[in-house]
Amino acid sequence: MEIFSVRSSQSLLFKNNPNNAKSSKTSHIEIETRAPAPASFQIDDNSDEGPDFTAVSPGELRNYARQSFDSGLIDQSTYAAISEPLPMHAIDPLGNVIDLSSVTDGTSFNFLDYYKNQLQIAMSIGGPDEVQTLKSIVNFLDS
């Protein structure tokens, strides 16, 4: 079975003709190149500061974290923790339940305060691995 390009300029009668089948296999195939798609969120090399993590969407935070992971600024466990979706509800250091169900990929959210609060809670009742990961996230967001 032969597979022909959809963009082929040859007629179907020409392709089905057994005398011409050998010459029609690859001689007309062209590879199109496209310009790379522009990135929606990039780290500015000239800037010493990152984005404002007190008002950033979860999607923008993940993109920034991915670029930072790729460039070696953060480790894999920090990137994985940042990439996790927010829970529907969280607890603040005073024990109050915070409703996070309205935070979507396009919604601005204060991630710096959120992770600082989660670090404070983890230092009270969490395990050492969780505390270390949250410290790494807070250091990344606070820098």
pLDDT in tens, 53-103: 989 999 999 999 999 999 999 999 999 999 999 999 999 999 999 999 999
Q: Phi and psi of 44, rounded to 5°?
A: -80, 125
Instruction: Convert the pLDDT of each residue in 110-143 to its tens digit.
Output: 999 999 999 999 999 989 999 999 999 999 998 8
Does residue 52 carry a pLDDT above 70?
A: yes
Is the C-alpha dihedral spanning 105, 107, 112, 116 positive or negative? negative
Query: What pLDDT, on the 0 to 100 scale, is given for residue 2?
Result: 67
Please tell me the pTM assigned to this model.
Answer: 0.64
Q: Is the pLDDT of residue 15 over 80?
A: no
Packing angle, helices 76-83 and 58-70, rounded to 10? 170
Residue 99, SS3 per DSSP: strand
The tokens describing 31, both together, are 């590879």
